[in-house]
Amino acid sequence: MNLPPALALTIAIVAEVVATTALKQSAGFTRPAPLALSLAGYLVALFCLSLALEKIPTGVAYAIWSGVGIVLITALAWVFHGQKLDMPAFAGIGLIMAGVLVLNLFSKAGAG
């Protein structure tokens, strides 16, 4: 498959966020539809991550994938599940976002 590495990584992130969100909705594997969505999302995420790893260094790709995923999943949990976030949580999310930006914009190891 000839996806640009940044696009493959983006799809991997979105699929993982969808899968994790659906996992919450599966209620401990008791609801089949969210469970199926979760499994499919994780398969797509890992497949696309493997494509991205053909061109992006492993540490860089994983840092971006996990960092952006954490931020997006936390945001969705805050908006849709009523998860409470305090100032230290927002500060931590800001630091994660700053780390991903530094890695992409300033590091020679970046995904560029």
pLDDT class of 37 with cuts at 50, 70, 90: very high
- Find the mean pLDDT for residues 37-61: 95
Taking the model in full, what pTM does it have?
Answer: 0.86
Percent of the chain's residues with pLDDT above 90? 77
Under the banding of pLDDT at 50, 70 and 90, the label for residue 107 is confident
Centre a 10 Å sphere on the Cβ of residue 101 and count the other Cβ atoms it contains: 11
Tokens of 69: 């995923």
pLDDT at 110 over 90: no
Q: What are the domain boundaries of the chain?
A: 5-105
Task: Supply 100's token pair.
Answer: 């991903």
pLDDT mean across residues, the chain = 92
